[in-house]
Amino acid sequence: MKLRVGDNVLVTTGKDKGKKGLVSKVFPAKARVLIEGVNQVVKHKKPVSGKSGERVVLSRPIDVSKVVILNGNNEPDRVGMKVLKDGTKLRIFRKTGEMIENKNKKIVSKEKKK
């Protein structure tokens, strides 16, 4: 999967078409990403032992094929890979050739395939 946590993306299809947001979590096993403020649903919680019930707004993961990464000019772009002489891989934008910065390398969800 070429998207990482912290990437700025644009939703291309569905009810949230045209919305922009940051990737907050990645699920590579399911090819889905969680984007802040996109694909929100309302979950109703029952009243439990004296607490009143409530409605909670949650963001749900969206399929990777329905989003596109935005480059530095806020234009939709594709991600390419470039291998340096020392063997390290870099992500680059296809249109501009600029390198994509990895803001958060640590936060990637690794789920088991079922």
The domains of the chain, with CATH numbers, are 8-75 (2.30.30.30)
CA distance 38 to 62: 8
- pLDDT greater than 70 at residue 109: no
Helix (H) or strand (E) holding 33: strand 32-35
Q: What is the pLDDT of residue 98?
A: 87
User: In this predicted model, what pLDDT tens digit does every residue of 45-87 receive, in sequence order?
Assistant: 999 998 999 999 999 999 999 999 999 889 999 999 999 899 8
Of 19-23, 30-34, 63-67, 95-99, the one with minimum mean pLDDT is 95-99
Q: Select from 55, 60, 13, 64 the least CA-distant residue to 36.
A: 60
Backbone conformation region of residue 20, classed left if phi is above 0, alpha if psi is from -120 to 50, else beta: beta
- Residue 100's pLDDT is 85
